Each structure stands twice: as C-alpha cells, then as structure tokens.
Amino acid sequence: MRFDEVVREEADGYWESSMVHPFVKGLVQGTLPMENFKFYMMQDAIYLKHYSKILAIAASKSETNQEMAYYLESARSINEAELELHRTVFKELHIGEQEQAELIPAPANNNYINHMYNAVLNESLPVAFAALLPCPWLYQSIGEEYKDEKPTQKLYRDWIELYSSKEFKDQLGIQKQMLNKYAKEHPADHQKMKAFFQMSAYYECKFWDMAWSLENWKELTPYELA
C-alpha cells in the first residue's frame, strides 16, 4: 500500500464520524439551522486565516524551489479562493468586519490551530505537511460523497460545490503525491507523520462538534460533587 493509503486507512474512524456527523448531514440535506452555519463559517474564517499563515511558515522552511512554490501558492489560493466563499456568506448574512474582527476562536478551533502551529514550528516539514493534509482531504471526501445533494439553501449548495470541484480534487492528487514523496525521502519521520495526520483528523471531528453545539469558553460539563 502507498503511504497515503496507509494514513488514510488508519483514519477511517475519524473519516466515517465526520461523514455522518449531524452538522455535515444537516448541511448537505439543507436542514442545518442557519445559526450553526453562520457560527461555523465565522470560526472557519479564523481557522483558514491561520492555516494560510502556517503554509507561509512552511514556505519559509522549504528546502527546494518546488516545495516553496507549492506552499506559497497554497497560502495564496486559500486566501483568495476558499475564503472568497466565506466573504460571500458574510455579505449574505450581513456579518460586518467589526463582528468578524471581534470573534475569538472557540475551544476546538483554538486547539486545532495550535496543533498545526506546533507541527510547523517544532517538527520537520514532512510532519507539518501530514498535519495539514486532513484539512483538504476530508473536505474533498465530503464534497465527493455529497456532490449530488442539492439543499434548497443556496449557501449550502455553494459549500458543496466548492469542495466537490475538479480543482479541489486535482489539488488533492498533488498533495497525496507530495505526502508519498516526503514519506519516501524521510523514513525516520513515518511514525510522526502518521500521528500528526491522525491528530488533525481527530480535530476535524471536533470542529463539527464545535459548530453543532455552538461551543464556547463559558460552559463546562456540570459534574456533581459525590
């Protein structure tokens, strides 16, 4: 089996959990309350802003021109293509710049962002790359799985369209090849690459939970004193 197939198979549980998550199901079937979608998109804009910055850090650590070109282009395309959807949603939902600027990351988002900064700042580039990969890969899987769903809410249809697009699929093909190249050239990094990929796949599941429960920093689980 190729390295990308191995890491993906090991993450089967997380993939399945995301695929049937009530947030994802609600989005593709059109039953998701707009409040949850708005919350998700606002949190996601924070996430993608940091994801883009992390790609720029990866570019600065690159050893080859090809690597550097990849990271810089990815950072640019997240900012211009993917975040364009978010800007459209914010306009539609009348979310102003002030509201966006004041928002802080919810706990699950914060954990995921910190995990990726840790990977790019403290680990090798192959490990950081593995940590960054579930993000496009999982969403491409969801887009592929639900591409024929046509929720009546246009914003939800746009979301499915973005992640089931040919460009997204082609880009993922390049990313899998890069993962396999890193794995071939850095056998000593295999365990960590797998572990960081799994952690990110876990955080992807937590991101859906966060948007489904409108997670915040105030409410803790109310355990009773024995």
Kindly list the residues in this chain that would bind ligand NSP in the complex (CB under 6 A). Answer: 44, 47-48, 82, 135-136, 139, 204, 207
126/136 with CB nearer ligand NSP: 136
Measured CA to CA, the distance from residue 80 to residue 34 in angstroms comes to: 24
> Does residue 97 have an active-site annotation?
no
CA proximity to 80, closest of 104, 43, 48, 112: 48
| 23 dihedral zone (left: phi>0; alpha: psi -120 to 50; beta) | alpha
Q: Which of 67, 82, 135, 215 is catalytic?
A: 135
**Closest distance of CB 87 from ligand NSP, Å:** 13
Contact (CB, 8 A) for 162 and 136: no
Residue 165 C-beta: closest distance to ligand NSP, Å: 12
Closer Cβ to ligand NSP, 125 or 172, answer by number? 172
Q: Does 80 participate in catalysis according to the annotation? A: no
Select 64 or 120, whichever has its Cβ closest to ligand NSP.
Answer: 120
CB of 85 to ligand NSP, least distance (A): 9
Taking the complex as a whole, how short is the minimal distance between the CB of residue 210 and ligand NSP, in angstroms? 9
Q: Which of 186/209 has CB closer to ligand NSP?
A: 209
Of the listed 16, 161, 185, 204, which one is catalytic?
204
Query: Which residues are part of the catalytic machinery?
Result: 135, 204
